[in-house]
Structure formats: C-alpha cells, structure tokens
C-alpha cells in the first residue's frame, strides 16, 4: 500500500462554491418580500378597476329587470282588457322611492277613475308589485336631466316620472288601444330606463339611455 498516494479529489458540488448563499439568506427573504408587495399592489389595482364596473353592471341589470317587469305588466293588462271586454288599467302609485303598481278592471263601464279605485268599484286584479322590493335600488324617478324620447320634450331632474295621466293610471281598452304614456326608472344617477306605451296600439317597449350618444335605444 502506497502511504504517499494523494487523497482523492472530491468533485465540485452545486452550492459549495465561494459565492453560494445559504438557504434562507437575507437576499432571498428580500426578494420574496418584494414579490409579495408587488402581488398585493396588483390585486389592489384590479379591485379598484373591477368593483366600480361590477356596481355599474349590477345597477344596469336591476334597472333593466324592473323595466321589463313593468313592460310585462302592461302587456298582461292589454291582454286582459281584450279577454274581459273591459278596460284594464295599471295604477302607478308613487310613494317616494317605493312605487306600487297594481292592475284594476273597470267595474262600471266609465273607465278607471280615482273615486272608483278608492270605493272598490274598479276592483284590483291581484296584489300590487313594488319595484324597489324586487329590484333594490331601482325607483320610479328622474334623477337628472334626460333627453326627450321620440322627439318629445326633455325631462328635468325631479320631474314626474310616471307620466301616464292625471290619475297615474295607464289604461288599456278592449280594442287594443291605450291611454299611452311613459314611466321613467332610475337605478342610480348614471342609469336611466323608460317604459313607453303607444296610445294607438297599446304596445309597450323598454328603452335605455345611451350615455355615449345621448339617445334612447332598446337595451
């Protein structure tokens, strides 16, 4: 045995060089902290952008849902008038931000009148529907100046939003005609809808104000 043979040389192993940093070093922790701060900042930016957009989309959805419900009630009243051979009216009872809408049938052949509503001569067809209960945040209201519809006059903020006659009744006759009118809905200051009923045909349609063009259009 050669006692003077040199000791075997160990091969280089990763992490054993003079520049290697032990795990958990300050540099590694610093890099991880920077990554965490960057990730949190990115999440904050995404939330700042998405939360207002989500709120606007929700307001639009509720406003359109309330408008379509009112349109459906108009169409149902028109059908009931033809089926019963008697005038059927929708009484739009505006009480602040909570509006009740209920259908009544003409019980004495002289049309829907306030006195007949009060004494029961024109009885209700079912219960009242309250838009604010079914679509929170939606009101029959004009919260800001609005352009006219179909060439009509512009609407001022605070004006009557149920423009369906002095008795707030939108009437449908057996021959398919209607008293006509418009009901304006607001879900918030930048979301406006309208349900418009033509007097000659009794047909109802939903309109939404396009903020970019300043025009009313079908949603």
User: Which domains are delineated in the chain?
Assistant: 32-217 (3.55.40.10)
**Alpha carbon distance 34, 205 (integer Å):** 56
- 92, 101 contact by CB (below 8 A): yes
pLDDT of residue 46: 53
Residue-level length of the chain: 219
**Alpha carbon distance 65, 87 (integer Å):** 27
The pTM assigned to this predicted structure is 0.74
Backbone angles phi, psi at 193, to 5 degrees: -130, 165
pLDDT of residue 95: 82
pLDDT of residue 41: 64
- 97, 132 contact by CB (below 8 A): yes
- The three-class DSSP label of residue 204 is strand
- CA-nearest of 117, 130, 148, 151 to 73 is 130
pLDDT of residue 153: 93
For the chain, the distance separating the N- and C-terminal CA atoms, rounded to the nearest angstrom, is: 97
Q: What is the mean pLDDT of each run of 10 residues along the chain (219 residues)?
A: 53 51 54 68 57 67 93 96 96 86 95 90 94 91 94 94 90 95 88 95 95 92
pLDDT of residue 170: 95
- 135, 165 contact by CB (below 8 A): no
By CB neighbour count within 10 A (0-12 exposed, 13-18 middle, 19+ buried), where does 192 fall?
buried
**Alpha carbon distance 90, 117 (integer Å):** 11
pLDDT of residue 102: 95
Quote the Cα angle for 140-99-191, to 5°. 25
**Alpha carbon distance 148, 30 (integer Å):** 61
Beta bridge partner(s), residue 217: 208
Contact partners, residue 99, CB within 8 Å, separation at least 6? 92, 93, 130, 131, 132, 139, 140, 162
pLDDT of residue 107: 95
């Amino acid at each position: 045995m050669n006692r003077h043979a040199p000791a075997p040389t160990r091969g280089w192993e990763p992490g054993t060089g003079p520049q290697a940093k032990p795990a958990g070093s300050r540099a590694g922790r610093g890099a991880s902290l920077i990554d965490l701060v960057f990730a949190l900042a990115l999440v904050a930016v995404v939330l700042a952008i998405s939360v207002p957009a989500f709120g606007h989309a929700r307001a639009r959805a509720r406003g359109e849902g309330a408008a379509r419900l009112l349109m459906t009630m108009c169409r149902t009243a028109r059908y009931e008038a033809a089926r019963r051979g008697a005038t059927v009216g929708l009484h739009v009872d505006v009480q602040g931000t909570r509006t009740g809408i209920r259908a009544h049938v003409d019980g004495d052949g002289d049309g829907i009148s306030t006195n007949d509503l009060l004494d029961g001569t024109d009885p209700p067809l079912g219960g009242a529907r309250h838009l604010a209960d079914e679509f929170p945040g939606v009101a029959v209201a004009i919260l800001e100046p609005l352009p006219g519809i179909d060439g009509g006059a512009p609407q001022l903020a605070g004006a009557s939003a149920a423009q369906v006659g002095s008795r707030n009744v939108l009437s449908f006759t057996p021959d398919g005609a209607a008293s006509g009118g418009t009901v304006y809905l607001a879900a918030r200051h930048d979301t406006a809808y309208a349900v418009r009923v033509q007097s000659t045909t009794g047909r109802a349609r939903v309109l939404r104000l396009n903020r970019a063009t300043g025009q009313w259009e079908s949603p």
